[in-house]
């Protein structure tokens, strides 16, 4: 049985702070000499405190994100912790004395992970979330931690590059949404980013790339992503709102900042609509609309051959062949072909940067007698959002169409004082 007389609890009384006249008189140098002290596992200490203070059903953790607030009672917190500890023990084989590194900010997630480790006697190594990769490598090398619990977005920020050099065997990604009890729609509206689908569960699954450039060019492609370690296969699958997006992330940009817009746009679509997506990419908007709404047909136009290849793949893997027609070509000429073939759209999506002003005239040939809604995107200062509407309106009125601004959305910050803005415009014949 463990005792305070065991050597691991005894300190060397020859240390300078004891012998140099610094130690206060009357203060015991050894824990064993402190009256009333004994060894109690921290988990039992948690339980004793909860019993002593009668706080089992008190709100012990509060998570706030914008206007949303989630309260967690102590009893529920213990349940979460026991489940996590049980997972570590039975699924991952973590035992008493094994080190679990926790790289999480101050959150419910950290408390659950910490208490779960105490439940099974694992040793917790707290990691500062602001550590740079080499600092993290040094910390994990010292302790030989077997498990790393981390906020999913932190993995993308740097740890991936050094983990193959450590003793980490298992990665457990976490996200602020893990302990939210609201319905899925409410959680998605919070817009909390996630990267869990990009994190391998074991180190053998690593493929690590370094982004050394920017997004640039006509096709908005990553400039310079370099392979570092693992399996050199840049094809990934990202699942979002029940839709699977497959793409090569070294050649195709995927903006997590547009997550809410991809979901929201599908809520505007009415049954049996005819939709033309003029800059479809890999199916950013076409796929969720086809999946969650009930359009009659979507014409998805994409010029970039690399993106078009994945657009056609994504249509198949999401089983949407009967709704989406992929078209490879310049949307300026392709919409004219559609118009001449008799296609008239209920909705036209013009989601590309910079704002596709030069494509407006051709897009207007798709207008129905009853009117067509255009989703026109661009970048502007917040107070100047009307500039996007006005440039569209000016060209439309030259062709004898009238425009009505239905709504506008600030999708995300794009730079100092600049925003990615979407204006919804109803266009009809004058």
Whether residues 197 and 292 fall in one domain: no
In a domain, residue 245? The reply is no
Whether residues 27 and 97 fall in one domain: no
Radius of gyration of the chain (CA): 29
Whether residues 12 and 103 fall in one domain: no
pLDDT at 250: 82
Whether residues 105 and 175 fall in one domain: yes
Whether residues 101 and 222 fall in one domain: no
Whether the predicted pLDDT of 228 surpasses 80: no
pLDDT at 119: 94
In a domain, residue 360? The reply is yes
In a domain, residue 56? The reply is no
Whether residues 88 and 11 fall in one domain: no
Segment 18-54, tens digit of pLDDT: 888 889 988 998 888 888 787 788 899 889 999 999 9
Span 217-235, average pLDDT: 67
Whether residues 93 and 138 fall in one domain: yes
In a domain, residue 45? The reply is no
Most confident by average pLDDT, 44-58, 213-227, 237-251, 403-417: 44-58
Write down the pTM of the prediction: 0.55
The residue with tokens 């008493």 is 96
pLDDT at 217: 62
In a domain, residue 44? The reply is no
Whether residues 307 and 339 fall in one domain: yes
Whether the predicted pLDDT of 17 surpasses 70: yes
Whether the predicted pLDDT of 381 surpasses 70: yes
Residue spans of alpha helices (H) in 231-294: 259-268, 286-292
Whether residues 200 and 219 fall in one domain: no
pLDDT at 67: 74
pLDDT band at 263 (very low <50, low <70, confident <90, very high): confident
Distance CA 243, CA 253 (A): 17
Q: What are phi and psi of 146, to 5 degrees?
A: -95, -25
Whether the predicted pLDDT of 390 surpasses 70: yes
pLDDT band at 113 (very low <50, low <70, confident <90, very high): very high
Greater pLDDT, 181 or 361:
361
pLDDT band at 94 (very low <50, low <70, confident <90, very high): very high
Q: State percent of the chain over pLDDT 70.
A: 89
- Number of domains forming the structure of the chain: 4
Whether the predicted pLDDT of 224 surpasses 50: yes
Could you tell me which of 153, 144, 149 has the C-alpha nearest to residue 198? 153
Q: What is the extent of the structural domain holding 172?
A: 78-205
The CATH number covering residue 135 comes to: 3.40.50.980
Whether residues 85 and 196 fall in one domain: yes
Whether residues 196 and 217 fall in one domain: no
In a domain, residue 72? The reply is no
In a domain, residue 403? The reply is yes
Greater pLDDT, 403 or 68:
403
In a domain, residue 149? The reply is yes
Q: What are phi and psi of 152, to 5 degrees?
A: -55, -40
Segment 299-355, tens digit of pLDDT: 999 999 999 999 999 999 999 999 999 999 999 999 999 999 999 999 999 988 788
The CATH number covering residue 402 comes to: 3.40.50.150
The residue with tokens 């094809």 is 235
Whether residues 123 and 164 fall in one domain: yes
Q: What residues does 350 pair with on adjacent strands?
A: 376
Segment 131-147, tens digit of pLDDT: 888 899 999 999 999 99
pLDDT at 326: 97
């Amino acid at each position: 049985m463990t005792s305070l007389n065991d050597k691991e609890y005894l300190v060397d009384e020859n240390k300078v702070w004891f012998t140099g006249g610094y130690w206060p008189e009357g203060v015991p140098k050894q824990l064993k000499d402190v009256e009333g002290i004994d060894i109690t596992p921290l988990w039992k200490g948690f339980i004793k405190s909860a019993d002593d203070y009668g706080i089992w059903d008190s709100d012990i953790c509060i998570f706030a994100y914008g206007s949303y607030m989630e309260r967690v009672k102590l009893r529920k917190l213990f349940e979460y912790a026991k489940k996590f500890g049980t997972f570590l023990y039975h699924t991952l084989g973590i035992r008493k004395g094994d080190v679990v590194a926790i790289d999480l900010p101050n959150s419910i997630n950290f408390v659950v992970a910490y208490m779960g480790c105490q439940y099974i006697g694992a040793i917790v190594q707290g990691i500062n979330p602001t550590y740079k990769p080499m600092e993290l490598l040094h910390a994990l090398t010292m302790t030989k931690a077997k498990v790393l619990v981390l906020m999913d977005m932190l993995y993308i920020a740097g740890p991936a590059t050094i983990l193959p050099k450590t003793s980490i065997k298992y990665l457990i990604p976490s996200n602020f949404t893990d302990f939210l009890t609201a319905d899925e729609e409410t959680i998605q509206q919070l817009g909390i980013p996630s990267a869990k689908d990009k994190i391998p569960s074991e180190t053998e699954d690593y493929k690590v790339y370094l982004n050394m450039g920017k997004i640039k060019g006509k096709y908005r492609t990553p400039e310079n992503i370099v392979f570092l370690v693992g399996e050199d296969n840049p094809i990934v699958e990202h699942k979002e709102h029940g839709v699977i997006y497959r793409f090569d992330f070294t050649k195709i940009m995927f903006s997590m900042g547009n997550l809410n817009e991809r979901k929201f746009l599908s809520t505007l679509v009415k049954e049996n609509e005819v939709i033309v997506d003029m800059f479809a990419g890999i199916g950013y908007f076409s796929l969720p609309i086809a999946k969650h709404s009930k359009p009659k047909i979507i014409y998805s136009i994409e010029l970039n051959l690399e993106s078009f290849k994945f657009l056609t793949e994504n249509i198949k893997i999401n089983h949407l062949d009967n709704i989406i027609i992929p078209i490879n070509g310049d949307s300026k000429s392709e919409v004219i072909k559609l118009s001449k073939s008799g296609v008239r759209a209920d909705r036209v999506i013009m989601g590309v940067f910079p704002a596709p002003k030069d494509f407006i005239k051709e897009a207007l040939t798709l207008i129905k007698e009853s009117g067509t809604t255009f989703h026109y995107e661009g970048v502007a200062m917040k107070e100047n959002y009307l500039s996007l509407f006005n440039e569209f309106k000016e060209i439309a009125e030259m062709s004898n169409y009238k425009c009505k601004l239905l709504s506008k959305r600030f999708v995300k910050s794009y730079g100092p004082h600049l925003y990615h803005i979407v204006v919804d415009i109803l266009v009809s014949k004058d």
